[in-house]
Amino acid sequence: MKRRLARLSSAVVMATLLAMASQSAIAGKLQIDDPWTPEAPPGRMMAGFMTLTNHGDVSIELVDAQSPLFERVEIHTMIMDDGVMRMRRLEQLTIEPGQSVALEPGGKHLMLMRPRESLAEGDEIPITLIDSNEDRHELISTVRPRATR
C-alpha cells in the first residue's frame, strides 16, 4: 500500500515535470544575458561577451554570427598551446538544454572583425547569432570600458 502510494506520487511528479518541459519547449528560446564589448582602439577587432542559456529541450548549435557594424564575426575559444593562450575559431558552439555557456574574457567569445566604424563607450552593437536550424537570435552588445564589466 505504501509502495503504491509512492508510485502514484512519482507519477504526479513526472506529469508535472513533463508539463514544465513542454512549457519551456514552447518558450524554446535562447536566453542571452548581459552582452557587452570592451572598448578597443579604432580599427581594431573587438570581442563580444555574454551568457547564453538554453531553455529548450534540444541542444542549440550556434554556427555563425553577423553584425552590420563589422565585416566579419566569428565564434572563438581560447586554447593553451605550448604555454601560450591562443584564439581558435569554433565551427559551432553547442548549448545543451538547461545549460548556460559563458562567453567571457580569457575564454570563449565572439570576435568582431574589421569594424566598419569606430565605436566608443556606450555605443550599441547589433549582433545576430545563427544556429544550425538557421534560427536567428538577435542581441545588442554595449561597448564598455575595458577594465569593468
Residue 94: CB partners within 8 Å, gap ≥ 6? 59, 60, 61, 62
Sole window of 17-25, 62-70, 79-87, 134-142 interacting with Cu ion (rule: CB under 5 A): 79-87
* Chain Cα centroid distance, residue 126: 14
Q: Which of 76, 103, 115, 143 binds Cu ion (CB under 5 A)?
A: 76
Question: Do 106 and 49 contact (CB within 8 A), yes or no?
Answer: no
Neighbour-count burial for 17-43, b at 16+ CB within 10 Å, e otherwise: eeeeeeeeeeeeebebeebbbbbbeee
Number of residues that bind Cu ion (CB under 5 A): 3
Q: Does 87 bind Cu ion (CB under 5 A)?
A: yes
To Cu ion, the closest distance from the beta carbon of 25 in angstroms equals 33
Binding mask 28-67 for Cu ion (x = CB under 5 A): ----------------------------------------
Q: Per CB under 5 A, does 113 bind Cu ion?
A: no
Quick check: 111 binds Cu ion (CB under 5 A)?
A: yes
- What single DSSP character describes residue 91? S
Closer CB to Cu ion, 56 or 70, in the complex: 70
Q: Is-contact 110 103, C-beta < 8 A?
A: yes
Positions that interact with Cu ion (CB under 5 A)? 76, 87, 111
